[in-house]
Structure 1
């Protein structure tokens, strides 16, 4: 089972960022206003909390969640994300997120093949939960759709990037 010691500092930071990147790709695919953004952000946070408390979660996921719970881990992830996405518009952000998830997939295949499938499925689930968190395209008297076409397409891109 892989843990933090199997990765360089930069590789570990990428793994720390990856749950947020999985959610950000969906949010950037179809920005849905402040309320939608909040719902989608909470969905990603809930996935981290669930992984921390789930007995079936693999060791690498738990290691990332545990490190993210520390102020040092959160700072590394926050600073890394800030550097990667500063001044990006939503389309650029989505593209960068997909590229980052490809890097995560390659990193896991190289350094944690035994943990890769479950970790990538976890990231895929975060993106799916984010997509389902807020309705898209609704108006004052209509609820819109649970997952928009843009979000569905992005879920496909995420799956391809992760190889799931």
Structure 2
């Protein structure tokens, strides 16, 4: 049985948005201009693709990727503007996705949460500094990662 079969179509759209919600949340706490936003959101998309392409990748992520490719799902979750309202909305939607996975696909829950956190950590480090070094995680991003860790129930 496919993981997505545990959900209605509307629930699956909520669950499948989770990786992009993590990206939106991190982008919203430390917006870095239009190019930075695009780079970070492309990194979120790439994380899905990379996990899905691994032979031992999470089945839930593989199914999200398959539905994105088929056009059943979309990556477009709305505008990112760095306002607290955006951050709250994103966290509420992420909470809905997590609750659905926990209730209807419990075998995937802890691995999916851990993967989402790893994705968040990777997103926080996206983009080189002007001198070519890897970008340091800002205080705002570190705080956001702490909030994500608590929400996802993973160690920091």
TM-score norm. by structure 2 comes to 0.85
Q: CA RMSD in A?
A: 2.4
d(CA) in 1 for partners of 2:98, 2:42:
24
Q: How has the CA–CA distance of structure 1 residues 33 and 9 changed in structure 2, closer, same or farther, with 3 Å as cutoff?
A: same
Cα distance between partner residues in 1 of 2:24 and 2:91: 10
- 2:56 counterpart of 1:56: yes
List runs of 5+ in structure 1 lacking aligned partners.
Answer: none
**Alignment-derived partner of residue 67 in structure 2:** 67
Question: Which whole-Å CA distance do the structure 2 matches of 1:2 and 1:159 have between them?
Answer: 27
Greater relative contact order, per chain length (Cα 8 Å cut-off, separation 6+): 1
Once the two structures are superposed, what CA deviation does each residue of 1:87-145 show, in whole Å capped at 9, x if it has no partner?
A: x653211122122222222111111111111111121122111111036xx7x789795
Structure 2 gaps of 5+ residues are none
Number of aligned pairs?
154
Contact 1:51 1:57 in 2 (8 A): yes
Higher helix share: 1
Q: Cα gap change, 1:59/1:156 in structure 2, threshold over 3 Å: closer, same or farther?
A: same
Q: CA 1:119–1:142 in structure 2 vs 1: closer, same or farther (change >3 Å)?
A: closer
